[in-house]
Amino acid sequence: MKENIIDLKKIILKTVHSKKEGHIPSAFSILDIMFALYDRVLRIDPKNPNAPDRDRFILSKGHASIGLFAILANKGFFDFSEFENFAAYDSKLGGHPDCNKVPGVEASTGSLGHGMPIAVGVALGEKIKKSDVKVYTIIGDGESNEGTIWEAALLAGHHKLDNLTCIVDYNHSTDPAIKVHDFTEKFKAFGWESFEADGHDQEALYQAFMKDPGGRPKAIIANTVKGRGIKKIESDMLAWHHKMPNDEELDEFLGELNNRG
């Protein structure tokens, strides 16, 4: 990884500010998780993005696409210059990821509840092939309101897909609508190995990724903060879900990141 995570957050902020598109809080909520995955866990080759034996990462909560794009560009799947065209008519990069346009994107997600069943299918396919490919997906706590998440959890548990890891981005964004409560116990009830981790502690995340799931699919319930790193967003995450910073706010947010960095 070339840039550090603070620099990636700055690129995201500047892009969303100038292009008036992108979900900053959702991207910042999962940036540590994806950074840890792409930095230390996934078996991938940016020069050969379709290698059959690559590990797969599927961003089920597709609205955090700008976070994924920052990670992929940083890894070398494409150039950071693509951000200059973000969400434009002819851009590869948009408000949700398109696997037929963007190298390194494994699934075209955006409608919630689609990525995880696809990840289960990929994991099952790799099991049928008896490969050692591992499959990872990130779902949101809001996304887990969707029934397909639990249909997919049931399938993965039943078929003992121990090559599948689901990371729950548990930033409590859905609490005002409907509380999901204890994800850990819910996944265990569906036949998964399941435990919590600090979603912003990359070492803790790495250890969680390395943990043997004991022949079952693994759920990492990542405790996260929506808009992590920007206090104004953290304290009013619902208002900021799809809000674009104005010029003053951009300066304020970049300054805050500079002070933290």
Partner 1 sequence: MRKQFFTTITDVIEKDEKAVLLLGDISVKGFVDTIKKYPGRAYNIGILEQATVGLAAGLAMTGFTPIFHTIAPFLIERTYEQLKLDFGYQKLGGNFISIGGSYDYAALGCTHHCPGDVGILKHIPGMEIVLPGTAQEFHDLFLQAYSDGKPTYFRLSEKSNPESYPVKFGQAHIIKTGSKATVIAVGPSLKPVLEAARDMNVTILYYTTVAPFDKETLKANSASGKILICEPYYRGAILPEVMETLTGRAIQVETVGVPIEFLNKYGQAEEHDQCIGLTPAGVKEKLVKLLA
The DSSP H or E segment spanning 57 is strand 56-59
Distance, CA of 137 to chain centre: 7
By CB under 8 A, the count of residues binding partner 1 is 31
Contact flag: residue 121 with partner 1 (CB under 8 A): yes
Contact flag: residue 114 with partner 1 (CB under 8 A): yes
Contact flag: residue 120 with partner 1 (CB under 8 A): yes
Binding test (CB under 8 A) with partner 1, winner from 100, 212, 215, 247? 100
Write down the least CB distance from residue 141 to partner 1, Å. Answer: 19
Which two tokens mark 181? Answer: 């409560």
Nearest CA to 29 among 2, 68, 57?
68
Binding test (CB under 8 A) with partner 1, winner from 8, 41, 72, 118? 118
Contact flag: residue 111 with partner 1 (CB under 8 A): yes
Q: Is 149 exposed, middle or buried (0-12, 13-18, 19+ CB in 10 A)?
A: buried
Which two tokens mark 146? Answer: 């969707």
Which two tokens mark 109? Answer: 């997600």
Q: Mapping DSSP to helix (H, G, I), strand (E, B) and coil, where does residue 165 land?
A: strand
Binding residues among 149-168 for partner 1 as defined by CB under 8 A: 151-152, 154-155, 158
Binding mask 10-49 for partner 1 (x = CB under 8 A): ----------------------------------------
Mention every residue, 6+ apart, whose C-beta is less than 8 A from residue 127.
159, 161, 163
- The site for partner 1 (CB under 8 A) is made up of 52, 99-100, 106-108, 110-111, 113-114, 116-129, 147-148, 151-152, 154-155, 158
